[in-house]
């Protein structure tokens, strides 16, 4: 198994097994494809454990005083919550159901959270059915949804999050975690319906080109991370992680060779370490590496 720096083993399993699956389908090797489908389904089930855990951890318990202070704190308008929502498949006209115009999370009741938990259970049932029916066509959407949830939640909760990589204000970090958790929970609720997935409204090649360009534009400003730490560092780190996740997923959905995808993913996987110990040379080198690459789009 190829090691993807910083990503969970279950994600590695899903990525590699799905490539074997789609390659086998293209070559009419049905038994190989079915065996790979089982690996994908079991990896996705493990990833749902991670999604469940991160959603819970993304809503930390706070005192009333902490909640009031966090709510009163000024929230930078540069937070790319609209990009997070788009990556999760939430249409622009539905974002305000999860976060308000200032980017603050809409208060979600326990019933809302239970709905998200039920959605995870329904996804598990769907995966179990797919393992029985071997319906490859119906597997594509669960793969896309679950992988995107894992990567999005990883920008806010866990060892690869902006809060961990960059020392920022505790309350600002809480806002990031709660807002991303609210968006993820809302996206999960949408999976229980037949609502369209906004992420797939455009051609994969167009999405890959757009996300690559957006990441490069943000990396131009990354040198600011080498100065004294402040809240803007957290905002910039979060934006970089979100745009890196978008580029990662865009590459994942391209019809290309595994080797070419891996080549594109490697600098993306190096980004968290560059944010953890930022230096001008490290960030510029990462920028140049990505600038020299293009998403592996077949001509």
pLDDT, tens only, 25-42: 999 999 999 999 999 999
pLDDT, tens only, 95-116: 877 777 666 656 555 656 777 8
Write down the pLDDT at residue 134.
96
Q: Is the separation of the CB atoms in 173 and 237 below 8 Å?
A: no
Name the phi and psi angles at 48, rounded to 5.
-65, -30
Q: What is the DSSP letter of 249?
A: H
Please state the pTM of the whole predicted model: 0.88
Write down the pLDDT at residue 104.
63
Helices and strands: H and E segment counts in the chain: 12, 0
d(CA 116, CA 187): 8
SS3 content of the chain, % helix, strand, coil (to 5): 70, 0, 30
Residues (pLDDT < 50) of the chain are 1-3, 60-74
Write down the pLDDT at residue 116.
81
Write down the pLDDT at residue 91.
86
99, β-bridge pairs = 105
């Amino acid at each position: 198994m190829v090691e993807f720096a910083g990503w969970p083993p279950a994600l590695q399993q899903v990525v590699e097994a799905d490539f074997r699956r789609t390659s086998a389908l293209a070559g009419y090797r049905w038994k190989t494809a079915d065996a790979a489908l089982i690996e994908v389904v079991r990896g996705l089930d493990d990833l749902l454990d991670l999604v469940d855990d991160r959603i819970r951890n993304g809503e930390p318990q706070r005192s009333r005083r902490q909640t009031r202070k966090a709510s009163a704190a000024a929230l930078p308008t540069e937070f790319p919550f609209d990009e997070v929502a788009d990556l999760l498949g939430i249409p622009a006209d539905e974002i305000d159901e999860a976060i308000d115009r200032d980017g603050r999370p809409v208060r979600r009741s326990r019933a809302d959270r239970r709905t998200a938990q039920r959605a995870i259970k329904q996804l598990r049932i769907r995966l179990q059915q797919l393992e029985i029916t071997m319906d490859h066509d119906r597997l594509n959407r669960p793969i896309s949804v679950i992988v995107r949830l894992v990567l999005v939640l990883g920008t806010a909760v866990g060892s690869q999050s902006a809060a961990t990589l960059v020392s920022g204000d505790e309350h600002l970090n809480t806002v990031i975690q709660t807002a991303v958790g609210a968006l993820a929970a809302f996206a999960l609720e949408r999976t229980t319906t037949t609502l369209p997935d906004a992420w797939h409204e455009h051609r994969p090649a167009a999405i890959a080109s757009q996300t690559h360009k957006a990441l490069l534009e943000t990396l131009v400003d990354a040198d600011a991370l080498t100065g004294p730490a402040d809240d803007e560092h957290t905002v910039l780190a979060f934006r970089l992680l979100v745009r890196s996740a978008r580029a990662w997923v865009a590459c994942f959905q391209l019809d290309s060779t595994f080797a070419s995808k891996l080549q594109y993913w490697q600098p993306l996987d190096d980004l968290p370490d560059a944010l953890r110990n930022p230096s001008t040379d490290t960030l510029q080198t990462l920028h140049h590496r990505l600038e020299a690459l293009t998403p592996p789009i077949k001509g």
